[in-house]
Structure formats: structure tokens, C-alpha cells
Amino acid sequence: MSGGGQYNVPKDGDVVAWLKREGDHVDKDEELCELETDKAVETIIAPVSGILVDIAYPVERKKPWIRGEMVLPFGDPIFYDPPFCWIETDEAVIAPVVPEPRCDAAPVRRKRASVLTTTYSEPKDAKPRMTMEALRLMQEEKISHEELFNFFQGKIPLFTEYHIKRLLEKRDADIQSQHDVAVMSDLAQKGSVRAVPLARTIAREKGVDLAHVQGTGPDGLILASDIGKKVDTQEVRIDRPMAIAQESEEPILLSMPRLWRTIAANMEAGMRIPTVDDRIDSRRFNIKRLTELYGNSRQSFKKVWLPLMVAYARVLGNERFAVFNSYWHEEIDNEGKITPYVAVRKYVHMGIAYDRGELPIIDLVNKTIKGERLRILTVRNAHVRSLKDITSEIDRLFEAAAQKQFSLQDTSGYTAIFNNLGVLRIHSGRSILTKGIASMLNLGLVDMESGEAVIQCVVDHRPIDGAKTAPFFIALYKELMQRVLPELETLLLEKK
């Protein structure tokens, strides 16, 4: 949608009216807001249908909208238009709303007074503000807005999935106490399996088949507590290859070490963090100066990725990019109101992915599976340490990992992660952010002759917009070329 210099978009203007509010449903091509320039009043329309979740230019803020331009370290500049607002679509994608080229005649200028009158008129059928997930859950469980308001007494400014589940828990409690059994049974009846709404929600999240759950409620009605019992006893089965057993045989369940279970739990939690697509947030950089240093000093300089990791740590330590070194934190008060925060750290503990590439060891007799898994080795306070100091620390960590003599401090407490994907002979990949980490940097395969390399930045989409990665890449490239590489050249001269 971003047009910039390609379209006849006004240079700047003031958002003088919003025709929709945050939390409202909007349809494609529906008018959202009005932008007053020095010549006319432009109408900004919705490019998609969905829920208006965030307004970037509220009228009372009196912040002028200005067309933007992003300049890369090399190549042509990128033009982009700052979004007026963000819309969450039915596909759970946050879409920015930016000016769209108009083919019709120029809009007629109108008086500001009439625009403001349209903006602040309250609709009579106002609905509560809620997230898309909360709205879906309400529709699935047939919850009316009146029931929601009555339960919370209208005290919640923004309803989330948490609030809907609280209401469903109340329904479940009523069932268990024998109140309104007949009414709630009809409400919960869906298909051939009878279950209360909260039980269905939990079963869907946990992957439990309700047909195999024994209900303890009236007339065998499945309660939420019955799902919890089923999850506790449910066995996780692993498909076995035909070379080991026939298809009709039951699989052998292998017990895992604690480390394997911990890594699996962290990955499961990381899958739930909304991230900006790392295919979009990828840049091709020319680091020929770095590859030349590597080729000329291979005996004393063995890690071509190390200077980039140091530059990444130092940029994270820059207050301007502190949001990239943050994490998403939520607090819930006694009334159930959720307050989100962006928790910013003042230090950078850099995690480095380390994998020896060994296959797991499977023991079918003792029913165990073990072996080395991907480790994250931690360089503490990497943003303030010299390149020489970090190089020595990396050598120590890798040696300790090879000898399996690292401590808990060596593999924990990291605030950001750096991945050297080039060692796998690939240009790019998919990464999962674990809880408490807002960004991760990947270095792909480096062309040692041309110096071209693909660098990916995966970010948590809750505190960081995708557009914010462009200035981050610029700062990263400058830090690498103007500061870290001269420091590396000095270090190599000292070794000679």
C-alpha cells in the first residue's frame, strides 16, 4: 500500500476527523478519517475489512501527518507512508492503513466545523471495545454484549480473551452448583458431545477429543475440570517408522531428559508470540571489507560472524533502539483489567546458538531418548565489552560446550539471540522468539568473494512495528563498518 513518491500523495496534513473509533468493525473501502492539507480534505479509506485496533494520529494529539522516506546504506531509497491506523483482519494479520492513489476528481474542501461534528457524535448502538480473539470467542460461545456488560458491570475499557473466559468460568460454576442446568445444557449442546463452553475452549487449546472425555456434570455433561483430568493422564504418542514396528503395534513412548522437555516448552511458548515475518525483515548487506579481513587473517581471525554479533549487541544497548532489547509484560488487577507494558532492559546479554549437529541417541530397551540439543551460550554485558574481550569469552564458551563443562550461567539469562545460519549452508530461515525476547538476528550464508550476505531480524510484533526495523538495520550496518571493523583491524595488527 505504501506509495510515497510514486503517487500524488500530499506532503503533509492534519488529521481533523476520525469517522471510526478503536474497537469498531470497518469494511473494505469504508471511510476511516479525513486529512486536511493546504489544498483540500483527503478521505482515507480502509484497504481491508476487520477491527480498528490502533489509531496512530488521534485528533486531540494534533500531530501532523508527513510522508516519509527511508534511506538504506546502499541502493535506492525506500519510500513509505506512515500508517494512520492499524486494522486486525479476519486472518489475524495487522494491516497498516496508508494513503491509496485516487483516480477520481480532487475532493471538495469542507469546513472544519462540520467535520468535527461528524467525528464526535456518539452512535446510539455503541458496542464494547474488544480484541478480535475475544470477539471470535463470544461468537463461538453465543455470548451477547448485554450478558458481557452485566457480568463486568461495564467497568472494562477493552475486553480481551481473558475476560470472555472469566464469564465462561462463571457459567461452568453455575452448572456445577446445579443452577440453571437445563438452560446451560441447551446452550452447551453442540453435536453429539455435551460440554460446557469453557470445556470446549480448553479442549480445543489442549488438543483433547471430547468424545473420549467422561463428563462428571449432570447427565454426563463435560465440565472444564474434566478436561484438566484428561490432559493430566493423556499420553503423548510418537509415530514410529515401519522399519521398527508394524503399523498395528502400539508405539514405544520414550522418556526425555529435563533439558529436552524445557526446550520443548520454551518453543511451544514462543510459537504464541506474534512476530513480524522474517522474510520481509531481511536485508542484503555488502560486507566485503569483513570477508577480506577474514581471508587475509584466517589463522588469527576464525569467526567471520563475530563482528556482526558485536555490532548487534552494541546497537541493542543504544537507548534509541531499546525497544529491540525489551519484552512484553502484562499485569492483571483485581477487576480483571489487563495492563500491557513494554519492559525495557538496560543491559544486553547476548545469546549465541550452538549446535554440534549430533543425532539423538534412542534406547528402545530402556525407552529413553537423549543426546545434545541446541544450546544458547550467553555472553553477558556484550554491549559494553571490547571485541577482544568478547572473542576470548566466545572461545571459552565454545570449548566448555565441546567438553560439556559449561555452567548454568553460561547457558541462561540471555536477552537477545544471534544465529549463524551460514554454518548450515543456508541463506535464511525461520526463527521462533522465546518468551522475554523482543528481537533475534540471523546471518545467512556469506558469499566470500562478493561479500554479499543476507541478514534477518525477527522481532516481537507487539512492541515493535515492522517498519522500525529499517532504521535498526541502518544503525547495525554503520556500527559494523565504522566502529567494529576498525577495532578488528587494530586487534589483528596487535597479533602480528
Q: Using alpha carbons, list the distances in angstroms from residue 400 to 328, 375, 405.
A: 32, 12, 5
In this structure, the answer to whether residues 273 and 186 fall within a common structural domain is: no
pTM for the model stands at 0.52
Question: Taking the CB of residue 31, how many other CB atoms lie within 10 A of it?
Answer: 14
Q: What is the CATH number of the domain that holds 380?
A: 3.30.559.10
In this structure, the answer to whether residues 177 and 61 fall within a common structural domain is: no
Q: How many domains does the chain have?
A: 3
In this structure, the answer to whether residues 14 and 86 fall within a common structural domain is: yes
Please say whether the beta carbons of 205 and 227 come within 8 A: no
The whole-angstrom separation of Cα 42 and Cα 32 is 11
Q: How far is CA 202 from the centre of its chain?
A: 23
Q: What is the CATH number of the domain that holds 183?
A: 4.10.320.10
pLDDT in tens, the chain (496 residues): 233 333 344 557 888 899 998 888 888 888 888 888 776 777 888 888 888 888 888 888 777 887 664 444 444 444 556 778 888 876 545 566 666 543 333 333 333 222 222 222 333 344 566 666 677 778 777 788 777 777 877 666 667 777 788 788 777 665 555 444 444 444 444 445 677 777 777 777 677 777 778 887 777 778 777 876 655 555 444 444 444 444 556 788 888 888 788 888 888 878 788 887 655 577 888 899 999 888 888 777 888 999 999 999 999 999 999 999 999 888 887 777 888 899 999 999 999 988 877 788 999 888 899 888 888 899 999 999 999 999 999 999 998 888 878 788 888 889 999 999 888 777 777 788 888 899 999 998 888 888 888 899 999 988 888 778 889 999 999 999 999 999 999 988 887 7
Q: Using alpha carbons, list the distances in angstroms from residue 256 to 259, 263, 361, 366, 367.
A: 8, 11, 11, 11, 9
Q: Grid coordinates representing 64?
A: 501532523
Q: Grid coordinates representing 151?
A: 457480568
In this structure, the answer to whether residues 491 and 361 fall within a common structural domain is: yes
Q: What is the CATH number of the domain that holds 13?
A: 2.40.50.100
350-354 vs 193-194, strand pairing mode: unpaired
Last residue of a domain, one of 119, 140, 163: 119
Instruction: Look at residue 338 and tell me if it is in a domain.
Output: yes
Q: In which domain, by residue range, is 323 found?
A: 266-495
Instruction: Look at residue 219 and tell me if it is in a domain.
Output: yes
In this structure, the answer to whether residues 379 and 298 fall within a common structural domain is: yes
In this structure, the answer to whether residues 102 and 162 fall within a common structural domain is: no
Contacts of 491 (CB under 8 A, 6+ apart): 387, 388, 391
Please say whether the beta carbons of 26 and 32 come within 8 A: yes
In this structure, the answer to whether residues 40 and 189 fall within a common structural domain is: no
Burial of 182 (C-beta count, 10 Å sphere; 0-12/13-18/19+): exposed
The whole-angstrom separation of Cα 357 and Cα 424 is 10
The whole-angstrom separation of Cα 246 and Cα 240 is 9
In this structure, the answer to whether residues 91 and 13 fall within a common structural domain is: yes
Closest CA to 150 of 136, 170, 132: 170
